[in-house]
Amino acid sequence: MLGLIVAILALPARTFAAPASYGQEFGLYLTTRNQDRSVPRAKALESLLEFFPQAFPFDIDVSDNDDVCSIAFMNCESGEYHPLDDITQQDFLIWFHQLERMSAGEPLLTDHEITLYHRLWLQDRRNNWIEGYDLTYATMQDFLYRYKASSAYYGMAYFDGLVADVSELNTDNYKDLYQVYDTQDEIFGLMTEIKALPEPTLKDVEVLNALTKLYEHYGILVDDIKELNGPLKRFSDIPDHIAEKIKELGLHDVIGEQTYDYSKNKAYRQHNLTVGLSRMNGKVYQPGDEIDFVYELGSNGDGWADYVPGYAIVQGREIMVPGGGLCGSATMLFGSSWKGGLEILERYPHSKYYSSLYPTVGLDATIYRGGKNLRMKNNMEDPILFYVDDDADKKIITTYLIGNSPFKRIDIEGPIQTGKKEYKMVRRMERYDGTEVVEELDSSYSAVYPY
C-alpha cells in the first residue's frame, strides 16, 4: 500500500470547504466572525482531545501546565506552553500527529522527529492541508474535516481529491475536464495495482471497492462537465440556425478555439478578416470531407468582390492586392483546427511574422488566391461545425470548432524556438483507448517582428 500512497501524493491539490456545521461534536463552532481568528493553544488542544478521545480516556485541564505536560509531547521544562497564546501551524501539526499516534497505540514522535517536523511542516502546506502561518478556526476545521474524510477511505490522502465526498464531485468544485481525467487515470492506475497483487489483504479489497465507486462517480462528473461546457450551454447568444444544426447533428464538444483582438488592425484588414471568417460561420463538414479555405472564401457567388484591397506579402514584398489581410482569417481558422485535432493537408507560415497581426508565432497560416492555400480534413467519426463569434464593439473575434472529439485530451506545447527565426508547435492527442498521437508543426520566417 505504500506505493499506492506515494502515487496519490503526486496528484495536484484541490480545495474543498468543510460543511459549516462540521466539528461541533469536538468543540468547533465556526462563525463568520471567528473563521479568520487565530486559535489559542488551549482551544486547539481541547478540540484535539475531543477529536481523539481514545488518546486520553480521562479528563485533563488544558489550561494547567502540569496536566498538559502529562501528555508527554510538550517540552515542559522550557515553559513553552502558554494556554492563551495563539498556536502556530507547525505546533498544531505536531500535536495532531502525536495524538494520532497515541490513539493508534503507536510510539510518540521522538525529539529528533519533532525537530524534523518543524523543518518539514511545509510538506503539509504544499499538499494544501492548511494555508497561512497562524492556525485559524477555519483552517483547523478544514484540516480535521479532511482527516475524517481520508479515514473513511482507509487513509488515502483527502487533499488530493481522491477521497472527496461524493457530494463534492460537482461542477462547482470541478470545471477543468482534464483535471478530472487526470484524477480518473490515477484512480484507475491504483485499481490496477491492487488487482495485480498476488495475495490482496482485506484492506486492499476495501480500498479497491472504494476506488471503484469513486471512479464511477468521477465518470458521472465527466458527463456533467461536458454538458456544462457544451456549445448550446456555453454560448447563450448563438444564432438559432446554428444552434439547430448543432442539435440535429448531435454535437457535444467545443473541440478547439482561437481568439484574436483586431482592434488595432487597419480598417481594410478588419473588414477582410471578419468577412472572410463569416464564410465559415455555421459551415458543416462530414467525416472525410476536405476543407479548402481559398474555395470557401469565394464561395458566396462572386465572393471575392466582397473583399477590399489591402497589403499582403507576395514573394517577400508587401504590396496592395485584392483581399489583402485575409491571412488573418486563415490564421484564425487554422488555430482552432490545429488545437482541435483536425488533419492538416496544406498550410504555409508567413514569410514575415508580425506579432500584432497573428495571435501566436508558429501557429499562423498564409493564403493567396491562385497560390498558397489552407486545406484540412475532417478526420473524425462525426460531422464538425465552425462557429464564428465576432464582438464588433470590442473587436474581438473567436473561431470555434464544434463536434464530437475522438480525443480524450489534446495538449498544445509551444511555440518552441528551434533556430534564429524557426519555431515549432507540438500537439499531443490522447485517444480514449490510451494511445497517443504526437505531431509537430514547423514554421520558418525571414523576419520576426515584435510589433
Instruction: Report the alpha-carbon distance of residue 311 to residue 319 in Å, rounded.
Output: 5
Alpha carbons 89 and 21: distance in angstroms, whole number? 23
Q: Is 316 left (phi over 0), alpha (psi -120 to 50) or beta?
A: left
- Of the ranges 12-26, 54-68, 196-210, 278-292, the best mean pLDDT one: 278-292
pLDDT at 125 over 80: no
Residue-wise pLDDT tens digits, 31-70: 888 888 999 988 898 899 889 888 776 677 766 666 666 5
And the C-alpha cell for 376?
484540412
Q: State the pTM of this model.
A: 0.67
Closest CA to 296 of 240, 334, 348: 334
The DSSP call for residue 106 is P
Please check the confidence at residue 6 and state whether its pLDDT lies above 60.
no
Task: Pick the range with the lowest mean pLDDT from 103-107, 113-117, 279-283, 362-366.
Answer: 113-117
Inter-residue contact 424 to 414 (CB < 8 Å): yes
| Predicted confidence (pLDDT) per residue in 279-310, tens digit | 999 999 999 999 999 999 987 656 678 899 88
Q: Which three cell numbers stand for residue 184?
A: 480518473
Read off the amino acid at residue 158.
Answer: Y
Across residues 398-408, what is the average pLDDT?
Answer: 95
Distance CA 5, CA 155 (A): 9
Query: What pLDDT shows up at residue 1?
Result: 39
Task: Give the model's pLDDT for residue 246.
Answer: 96
Distance of alpha carbon 415 from alpha carbon 428, whole angstroms: 14
Mean pLDDT, the chain, integer: 83
pLDDT tops 90 at residue 77: no
Q: Summarize pLDDT for 364-386 with one digit per residue, the tens.
A: 999 988 789 999 999 999 999 99
User: Distances from the Cα of 256 to the Cαs of 172, 227, 334, 386, 388, in angstroms?
Assistant: 23, 16, 10, 10, 12
